[in-house]
Structures are given as structure tokens and as C-alpha cells.
Chain A
Amino acid sequence: MPSPLVEVRNVTKRYGALTVTRDVSFSLEAGEVLGILGPNGAGKTTLFNVISGDVAPESGHVLLSGVDVTKLRPHERCRRGIGRSYQIARPFGGLTVFENVLVAALFGAQSAGADANARAVDVLDLTGLRSKANRLAGGLTLLDRKRLEFARAMATDPKVLLLDEIAGGLTEHEAAEVVAVVRSIKERGIAVVWIEHVVHALVAVATRMLVLAAGAKLAEGDPKDVLASADVRRVYMGIEA
């Protein structure tokens, strides 16, 4: 059997006495969209940090196409195909929108010259940022910052894209735009892991859902089944079953 595209195997991460991620495992194939739900402090972002290499786990492994990348530095993981966005958008404020994306295309996707330019323009089109390409990223609105997070992550030519609350703080209409973009990414054969509190946005595109609570996996499966499960309704939505 071929290895899954991404495999997270028994990952545990502690900060001092606090265990923020507890023996979490899941795997993902190309073209899947895995939605991750969980209350604040459930360890969702920490899980992303472990996958992207921002933090090292106490135990467990992260595998990309069967290759263990747990010990690799973030830039090496990026070049192997792990792209991510951050919950709080962190554009390079002193660079233009185009340069922000070009850095990702040049160094993350390791494309050169005209290829890098073409890739940058492609993701700016995808995210609707093309008309703002020459503005300094530091002056963007919240929505455009989120778009740029998205664009930069895409420009690294990821095999798997980790999206951290990309629809948070957006209007209904803007969230629908984000869903449309995620759907088009999925159609390109890229695997997506999406942490989101805006449940209806997640349900609209997720092929599978995973729920975390207190660092541990509470449920995983078909989005409708997961959302209907009594445990999830109690922990996440505060509804007594």
C-alpha cells in the first residue's frame, strides 16, 4: 500500500506541565480537505506548528509521502511541500504584495526567473490580489492580509496546505469567497488541512472532519456524522446531549 501524502503519528507536545497535544494521529491523501474543529486551547495551532516545523514535538512523527520529516527545519519542509498560513496574518510589511508572494515562489517552490513570476501572478489572480500587487503589504486591510497569507502559502507550491482560521473575522460574503478558493485548490489535487471556527464554511468544503479537545482527538470522520455526534456537540458547541 502506498504511503499517505501526510501522516501525523502519535504526536505529543508539552509546554512545561501542560500537554497541549496528546497522542494525535491522522493521515491525509491528495485532494482531501480535512477540517479541524476544537475549542480554544484544544491544541489545533500547536498541531500545525509541529507539522510545519515551528516547534518540535516531545514524541511522535510527521511523515510526508512516507518520509519522516520530524527532524527537518521549517524551510526544508516547505521545500518538500508543506505550506501554511498563520491565524494572525504576518505579511512582510516592508515588501510589496508581489514581493511577498515572489519570496515564497523563489525560495519555497524553488522556481526561478520567469517561472517564479508566473507562479506569483497565478496565486495573486487566484486570491484576487493582483490589482494590489505593488502596494506595501504592511498597509493591507484584514481581508487582504488573509488573502496574502493564502497567496504566499500557495506560492510555495505545496502538496499539503495548512490553513489556520483563514475565514475568522470575515463577513459572510468574504467567507464564501474563501470557501470557493479552497475548493479550487482542492481541485488542483492539493491536500488541505483547515482549522476553522466558522463551521458552515468548513462543512461546505471538508471531505473529512477531525475534532480536538484538550489536546486529544475526540472524533474523526464524515463531517455530518462528526457534527452530529453527542460528544462533539457537548464539547464544542456546549449543547447538552
Chain B
Amino acid sequence: MNWLDTVIQGTLLGGLYALFAMGLAVIYGVMKQINIAHGDFIVLAAYLALGIVAATGLHPFLVIPLAIVVFGFFGYAVQRTILNRTIGGDILPPLVVTYGLSIVIENALQQTQSADPRSIKLGALETASVPLGGGLAVGVFPLVMLVTAIVVAIVLEIVFNRTRLGMAFRAVSDDREIASIMGVRDKRLFGYATAISFAVIAIAGVFMGIKFTFTPSLGPNFLLYAFEAVVIGGMGSFWGTLAGGIVLGIAQAIGFALNPGWGILAGHLVFLAVLLVRPTGIFARTA
């Protein structure tokens, strides 16, 4: 096994996991809710992108901006019409309702799209690579995923720390009742947070559809990867979430390299190890 190559491939895969995770982290960060249907929305975004590509013949990368807009509005609508009704009070209703959404999405996709594996074709870019020298090379597409994840982390950091919207997000996250007393329109703000989460989901969904062959039943796996990356990285900054995704990607790549059956397991083991040793996450901002 070539360690350097394995770590590089893992880092690139980690870019995708970081994209999975950042959408989850936005909703958790602002509303302290776990969206159990997160992975299913990623799968749904992949089917949406596949449909747009089939209907228009556009290059998958050009579909991304369209998917971001569609999913952004979709996320806002889901929050305002469904999820806002579950907020404030017990922690169980949001979990149960998003779990229900997960079942609905998976079954609706089975019904309409069948259980056949699909993937989004990228053409020549799929195999294109950049030589690094010394016999090492990185694929152009995995590199695009990692760079996109870094850009998304930068954008989210700016939005949360440098804009009035972000300040309102942090205030509502801190104390919703007080924020409301200070004139913040909490329910609308939650809609914006979910819109941002879903915009990231749209990007993640398109990349996932290119990277993997997917079926309607894969959602829970992606939720788990996203969740693991968030926990490994620790809450408090999107840099941490990005790093968590990369750690998870490297762990899986090393596992795969040791034995093809151990990849996913290795990721879970790192996740459990972090939970045991540093439950706040490796890169958490400790108060």
C-alpha cells in the first residue's frame, strides 16, 4: 500500500463527506435540530440533477447552480411549512418528523425511480487526472469536490461571522426567546438556515451522484457519514466540519487499502474513538 497516495485519495473523498456534513451542521448550529432525512435529501438532489441532465443535456457541473436554487427554495418551504411546527419544546418531534420524511422520500423514489442503481455521467472528466510527480496523480473530479468543499466552508464562515444574517443566526442559536424579544423574526430565520443547508445538500447530491452509483435507499448511510464528520470535527466552526469530513475520508481510504471490506468500518472506528477520547470533537472551539 502506498500511504501517501491513500491519504491523498482519502482527503479528496473527505471533501464530499465535508459537503454532506456542512448542511447538517448549519441546521444543527442554528436550530439545534438533527435532520434525520438529511441523507435522503442528498439522494433526492442526485435524482433531481439526473433528471435535469437527462431533460436538458446540460453538463452536470452546470446543473449545480440550478440545483442550488431549486433546493434552496425547497428547503425554505420545508422549514416554514413542516419543520417550524416541531420547534420549541421537546427534542423528539423534530426527530420523529424528519424520520418520517426520510421514509416518505425513500419510498417515493422507489416508486417513481425504481430501485435500479443510477449514476450521473461526467464524460471525459471522470477519468481525467493531474500528475503530481513521483508516480502520484489526483483525479480532476475529486479535486473539484475538495476545492468546492473548501469554498463552501469559506462562504459559510463569512455568512455566519461577517454578515447581519449570520449574527442573527448566532443570536437565535444562543437564545431564541431573547432574540425574538430583540425583534428577530425567528421562524423566517429558520427558513433561511434550512435554505442554506439545502443549497449545500444540492451540491453534495450532484457530486455524490457522479462519485457513486446510487439507489433510493442510500440516504441513511449518507446521514451517518455526515453525522460522523460533524462529531469528529466538533461544532463551532465550519473549518472543524471540513476537517472532520477529511479525517473520515482518510480513515475510510486507509481501511479500504488494508482490506476492501474494512473501509466503512475504519470510518466508524475513528468516529467511536473520537467520541470516547474527545466527545466535543477534535477541532471544537472549547469555551
Partners in one complex: yes
| Residue among B168, B170, B183, B287 with max Cβ neighbours from chain A (10 Å) | B183
Main secondary structure of the interface of B (DSSP, over half): helix
Q: Answer yes or no: A215 CB below 8 A from chain B CBs.
A: no
Cα-based distance from A102 to B179 in the complex (angstroms): 12
Also in contact, A78 and B183, with CB within 8 A (given A103-B168, A106-B164, A138-B287): yes
| Most chain A CB neighbours (cut-off 10 Å) among B173, B175, B182 | B182
Assess the B174–A107 pair: CB atoms within 8 A.
Answer: no
Taking CB atoms, residues of chain A closer than 8 Å to B186 are 75
Q: Does B34 contact A (CB under 8 A)?
A: no
CB distance A78 to B182 under 8 Å? yes
- Among the stretches A87-95, A170-178, A222-230, A231-239, the one at the interface with B is A87-95
Interface string of B159-187 (1 = CB under 8 A from A): 00000100110110111011111111110
Per-position 1/0 for A57-75, Cβ under 8 A of B: 0000000000000000111
Instruction: Give complex CA distance A107, B180 in Å.
Output: 9
> Once the chains bind, are A94 and B170 in contact (CB under 8 Å)?
yes
| A156 close to B (CB within 8 Å) | yes
| A75-B186, A92-B175, A106-B164 known; A52 vs B181 contact (CB < 8 Å) | yes
Q: Which residue of A lies closest to B287 (CB)?
A: A138
As a 0/1 sequence over residues 52 to 64 of chain B, the CB contacts with chain A under 8 angstroms (1 = contact) are 0000000000000
Cβ B174 vs Cβ A93 within 8 A: yes
Q: State the CA gap A138–B174 with chains docked (Å).
A: 11
Query: What are 30 A-B contacts with C-beta separation under 8 Å?
Result: A54-B177, A74-B180, A74-B181, A75-B181, A75-B185, A78-B180, A78-B183, A79-B183, A86-B178, A90-B178, A92-B170, A92-B171, A93-B174, A94-B170, A94-B174, A95-B171, A99-B167, A99-B171, A103-B179, A103-B182, A103-B184, A104-B182, A104-B183, A106-B164, A106-B167, A107-B168, A107-B183, A107-B185, A108-B183, A110-B183
Q: How large is the interface on B (under 10, 10 to 19, 20 to 34, 35 or more residues)?
A: 10 to 19
User: Nearest residue in A to B285 (C-beta to C-beta)?
Assistant: A94
A152 at the interface (CB under 8 A from B): yes
- A84 at interface (Cβ–Cβ under 8 A)? yes
A94 neighbours in B (Cβ, 8 Å): 170, 173-174
A37 at the interface (CB under 8 A from B): no
By beta carbon, the residue of chain A nearest B182 is A104
- Given A73-B180, A102-B167, 14 extra CB contacts under 8 A: A74-B180, A86-B178, A92-B175, A92-B178, A100-B171, A103-B182, A104-B182, A104-B183, A106-B168, A107-B168, A107-B182, A107-B185, A108-B183, A156-B182
- Nearest residue (CB) in B for A110 is B183
User: When the two chains form their complex, are residues A75 and B183 in contact, meaning their CB atoms are under 8 A apart?
Assistant: yes
In angstroms, Cα B171 to Cα A93, docked, is: 9
Taking the closest CB of chain A, its distance from the CB of B162, in whole angstroms, is 11
CB-CB under 8 A from B181, the residues of chain A are 52, 54, 74-75, 78, 84
Chain A residues closer than 8 Å to B173, beta-carbon distance: 94
Q: Contact: A108 with B170, CB < 8 Å?
A: no
Q: Check if B184 sits within 8 Å of A75, measured CB to CB.
A: yes
